[in-house]
Amino acid sequence: MFIQIEPTSDIPIYTQLANQIIELIARGQLKGGDTLPSVRALASDLSVNMHTVNKSYHELEHKGIIRIVPKSGAIINPIVQEGITNENSRRIIEQLKPIIAEAIVLGMSPEVIQEQTTSILITLKGE
Amino acid sequence: MFIQIEPTSDIPIYTQLANQIIELIARGQLKGGDTLPSVRALASDLSVNMHTVNKSYHELEHKGIIRIVPKSGAIINPIVQEGITNENSRRIIEQLKPIIAEAIVLGMSPEVIQEQTTSILITLKGE
DNA sequence: GAACTGTTCTAATATATGTATAACAAACGA
DNA sequence: TCGTTTGTTATACATATATTAGAACAGTTC
């Protein structure tokens, strides 16, 4: 697991960690059925507190990305193949909207926004 | 100004406000040169504290979206026409990446992600 | 000159974030 | 079986962020 935490970032550590795990799954470097390190092991690895890692894992579980088996470990769910749910789709769009609005106001043209989106998709999935 | 604040949201009030002002500018409902209400007037209007509105305005100024003239008011900068700066572009991409990664993991196909991006752009700019 | 403006200051409260320790009970592995 | 590991839970503490409140100040506006 190649994870890098910046303790001084304005993004909370547990969010940084959750985001990076999501990115690893999107890239296919973590697959459905793979197990995540124990909260203690990963915490020690990243030099952060056990509870901080635990909070990340529960955020991922709440989003439906992993499942936590008590007293056992955390397992990555397979990437959903049947298409995204309406609820999740709505959430994603609500998150994208303000960022795209900001991009427009800062002078990024719709064409460039599309290009950058494509670029990110290629980076993540190779498509 | 049609602004709606949800006090119980997990998104801070000052962020909600800044986002909505940005969206109004992106939509063209606020234009370069337009003035924003005074911090006291808008705070009263939204039933929030003056300092919360002030924090929003300063966030917008920090992003280069408005300028604040001390003892006078806040004026919207024109939408940048010369293209986005590299620094701003980098920031936008860093914000988009984790959301797009999450969309992929939750089963949104690259094609649908592109479609939704287009849809948001149309909603905002009519393009 | 009165009203309004953003600024600054102090203060209080609530919530969020992160760390530190410890104990518990279930699961795991040898 | 038995020791180790696991996630869980509880308490405590420190710091930062978010929000509100009230007041005073000095420049701007009309």
ipTM: 0.94
Q: What is the 3-state secondary structure (H, E, C) of B59-102?
A: HHHHCCCEEEECCCEEEECCCCCCCCCHHHHHHHHHHHHHHHHH
Collapsing DSSP to helix, strand or coil, B123 comes out as helix
List b or e across B17-50, with b for residues whose CB sees 16 or more CB atoms inside 10 angstroms: bbbbbbbbbbeeebeeeeebbebeebbeebebee
The band of B127, judged by pLDDT with boundaries at 50, 70 and 90, is low
Q: What are φ and ψ of residue B8, in 5° steps? A: -95, 0
A114 and A65 part of one domain: no
B26 and B55 part of one domain: yes
Domain assignment present for B3: no
| pLDDT for B71 | 87
Collapsing DSSP to helix, strand or coil, A56 comes out as helix
A107 vs B39: CA distance, rounded Å? 26
B71 and B90 part of one domain: no
Q: Any idea what the CATH number is for the domain that residue B46 is in?
A: 1.10.10.10
B61 and B116 part of one domain: no
Q: What are φ and ψ of residue A77, in 5° steps? A: -75, 150
Nearest nucleotide over every DNA/RNA strand to the B58 CA, judged by C1': C6
| pLDDT for B125 | 80
A58 and A113 part of one domain: no
pLDDT, one tens digit per residue, over A76-91 is 999 888 999 999 999 9
Chain B residues within 8 A of A79 when measuring between CB atoms: 104-105, 107
Strand D within 7 A of A67 CB: no
Domain assignment present for A3: no
List b or e across A73-100, with b for residues whose CB sees 16 or more CB atoms inside 10 angstroms: ebebbeebeeebeeebbebbbebbbbbb
What H or E segment, with its residue span, contains residue A94?
Answer: helix A86-105
Region B52-63 average pLDDT: 98
Residue numbers of the domain that contains A50: 13-76
Complete edge-to-edge strand list for the sheet that includes strand B73-76: B35-36, B73-76, B66-69
pLDDT, one tens digit per residue, over A26-43 is 999 999 999 999 999 999
B38 and B93 part of one domain: no
How far is Cα of residue B124 from the mean position of the Cα atoms in its chain?
A: 12
Region B11-31 average pLDDT: 97
Cβ(A110)–Cβ(B31) below 8 Å: no
Does A11 lie at the interface with B, CB-CB under 8 angstroms? no
B38 vs A115: CA distance, rounded Å? 38
| pLDDT for B92 | 98
Facing residue for A117 by CB, picked from B64, B88, B114: B114
Domain assignment present for B21: yes
| pLDDT for B98 | 98
Substitution target in A25, A79, A91, A106 with the highest count of B β-carbons within 10 Å is A106
**pLDDT tops 60 at residue A115:** yes
Region B68-75 average pLDDT: 93
Among all chains, which residue has been given the structure tokens 């579980």? A61
Report which of B69, B57, B108, B86 is spatially closest to residue A124, judged by C-alpha positions: B108
Domain assignment present for A1: no
B71 and B96 part of one domain: no
Which residues lie below 8 Å from residue B54, measured CB to CB, with a gap of 6+?
B39
Region B16-29 average pLDDT: 97
Which residues is B69 bridged to in the sheet?
Answer: B73
A25 and A47 part of one domain: yes
Q: What is the mean pLDDT of chain A?
A: 95
Last residue of a domain, one of B76, B95, B110: B76
A65 and A96 part of one domain: no
Nucleotides of C under 7 A from a protein CB: 4-9, 16-22, 25-28
Does A22 lie at the interface with B, CB-CB under 8 angstroms? yes
B21 and B69 part of one domain: yes
Question: Which of residues 53 to 72 on B have a Cβ less than 7 angstroms from any strand D atom?
Answer: 55, 69-72
B48 and B94 part of one domain: no
Domain assignment present for B4: no
Domain assignment present for A20: yes
Which residues is A74 bridged to in the sheet?
Answer: A36, A68
| pLDDT for A1 | 76
**Are B98 and A22 in contact (CB < 8 Å)?**
yes
| pLDDT for A127 | 57
| pLDDT for B80 | 86
**pLDDT tops 90 at residue A126:** no
Domain assignment present for B91: yes
A72 and A91 part of one domain: no
Does B85 lie at the interface with A, CB-CB under 8 angstroms? yes
pLDDT, one tens digit per residue, over B103-119 is 999 999 999 999 999 99
Nearest nucleotide over every DNA/RNA strand to the B12 CA, judged by C1': D18
User: How many structural domains does chain A have?
Assistant: 2
